Amino acid sequence: MTLKDKLHSFNCMFKVRFLKKRIPLAVRLQVTNRCTLQCKYCNLWNTKTEEFTKEEIFSLIDQLAVLGAKRISFSGGEPLLRKDIGEIISYCREKSIYPEMNSNGTLVPERVDEISNLDFLKLSLDGPKEIHDLLRGKGSYGQVLAAADSVSKKGMNFGFATTLTKYNIDHLDFLLAIAEKYNTIVAFQPLKQLYRGISDISNLAPSQDKFKKAIDKLIQTKKSGNRHMRNSLRGLKHIYNWPKYKKLRCWSGRLFCIINADGELFPCDRINYNSPLPNCKKQALKLALDQLPQAHCSGCGFCGSLELNYLMNFKLDIISSIRKILDKQE
């Protein structure tokens, strides 16, 4: 990120924090619900919806650029099921917005040239072969490593993302070793219900005792200087209390937000909303943002959100952690 973009970001954060503005600095845009896999903790692949056209996405990117967005994470479903995803990524670059993408890796090798303009690619990895394939489908482990090989050879910035379940909670060393092998990072995310996904995921959850032991191990590993972990030390200490976290003021809906594949705009997809949400297909994005409800939940354990929230709450030590993570990508 350039110095100009960093200054822009801090200026936006100041306006949101002190002037009560809504500026979508970071946005996750779900470009499709279609997926090549049927993971045990997600049901989006079974959710039918009319997707944005390419022109509608271009219009959204135009609006986001005007409103101050600097990072868009394309997600799904599997974004690479869209034939136009390469054009969308390039258009994002043209508007001086950093494009990221979440992917299960299944289609990456055959389309790596089209996505080489990404700022960062996040590949889902849930453990050794038998565990990853159990959670995501037979053959998916080989596919995600093939994806890592292809983007690594291309010189692209990428990392892994792991959702902690009872199946992989004892395999943290394996996941860190994979990240070290590719000289990249892995983000450990606590399991939490996705309200647009499986209605009950309790059968996937590790015991609280095992979770605490695992996070304590990650904390000690982080303190020892391991540079292959995406999580900050402060963030790890926060998720130690899963599933109920210590109070932390959340800025979802004001500094970052999510746009669903059907145009629905919401602060966070880990909250069940009782009233209808605004839709970006039916009205201008600025009007939709102004109608967002205040997010209230039991707390968030996800890296990017945690870091922004801690930074907005004046925990400035998080800057050093973010800097080390960025250094890993350069």
Listed in sequence order, the residues at least 6 apart from 199 whose beta carbon sits closer than 8 Å to its beta carbon are: 43, 193
Would the CA dihedral through 111, 114, 116, 119 be positive or negative? Answer: negative
Q: 0.85 cut: is pTM over it?
A: yes
> Taking residues 291-314, what's their average pLDDT?
82
- Is residue 254 within 8 Å of 16, Cβ to Cβ? yes
Residue 45: its pLDDT value, please?
74
Count of positions (residues) in the chain: 330
Per-residue confidence at 193, pLDDT binned at 50, 70, 90?
low
Q: Is 72 helix (H, G, I), strand (E, B) or coil?
A: strand
Tell me the pLDDT of the chain averaged across its residues: 90
What is the predicted pLDDT for the residue at 293?
Answer: 86
Q: Which pLDDT does position 176 carry in this prediction?
A: 98
Q: What pLDDT, on a 0 to 100 scale, did the predictor assign at position 38?
A: 86
Per mean pLDDT, which range of 94-108, 178-192, 257-271, 295-309 is the poorest? 295-309
Flag the least confident range among 33-42, 79-88, 120-129, 225-234: 33-42
